[in-house]
Amino acid sequence: MTVEIPESHRDLLQRPIYAVLTTMMPVGQPQSSLVWWDYDGEHVLISTSLERRKSRNMLANPKVTVLVIDPANSARYVEVRGEVVEMSQNGAVELADRLTQRYTGKQRFYGDVYPVERQAQETRVVCRIRPSKVNADAIFG
């Protein structure tokens, strides 16, 4: 069963706000990375390459957390706990390009963010994360 992100916080998913992706290292220690991300209405989408530590962590243990904090109000956030249900090369470069446009205003991931030659050196994937629990906002007082 997929848990939906509340409508009240969907704007955080549509703006170019960096997320913190937390995965688990083989020794059980958390590892966090700043990532660009997207939401397709069902899954959180992360673009990365299989050669990265976070990918190796997700392959070994698919349980992850994604945290996005509203830059205008740090008490407003969305935390998505879930499981990586797919890591696929299908559409991976297209997602990287779409995220490049959203986060930088440039057109291409390979060529505008990373050198074109880098594409042959890594295996770009889309990580699809199915939310199992969503938390929103800190409550103070």
Note whether 80 and 37 are within 8 A (CB): no
How far CA 61 is from CA of 3, 30, 70, 127, in Å, comes to 20, 11, 28, 13
Taking alpha carbons only, the member of 42, 31, 60, 29 closest to residue 2 is: 42
DSSP 28: S
Find the largest Cα–Cα distance for the chain.
Answer: 53
How confident is residue 134, by pLDDT bands cut at 50, 70 and 90? very high
Q: Is the pLDDT of residue 141 over 50?
A: no
**Domains, the chain, with CATH or none:** 7-136 (2.30.110.10)
Q: What is the β-pairing status of strands 30-35 and 77-88?
A: unpaired
Q: Dump pLDDT digits (tens) for 68-123.
A: 999 999 999 999 999 999 999 999 999 999 999 999 999 999 999 999 999 999 99
pLDDT exceeds cutoff 90 at 3: no
pLDDT tops 70 at residue 28: yes
